[in-house]
Amino acid sequence: MNELVHVIKVGIADMNVVQPPHLIRTSGLGSCVGVVIFDQMKEVAGLAHVMLPDSSLARSETINIAKYADTAVEALVELIIKAGGRKNWLKAKLAGGAQMFSFQSANTDMMRIGPRNVEAVKRELERFRIPVVAEDVGGSSGRTIEFNPKTCILSIRTVNQGVKEI
Q: Where are any strands of DSSP class E within 30-152?
A: 33-39, 44-50, 91-96, 132-137, 143-148
- CA dist 26 and 15 (Å) reads 9
- CA dist 13 and 32 (Å) reads 9
- CA dist 148 and 12 (Å) reads 19
Decide: helix, strand or coil at residue 23. Answer: strand
CA atoms within 13 A on the CB side of 101: 8
* Percent of the chain as helix, strand, coil, to the nearest 5: 25, 35, 40
Residues classed as catalytic: 32
| Residue 48 contacts residue 35 (beta carbons within 8 Å) | yes
The letter for the amino acid at 110 is M
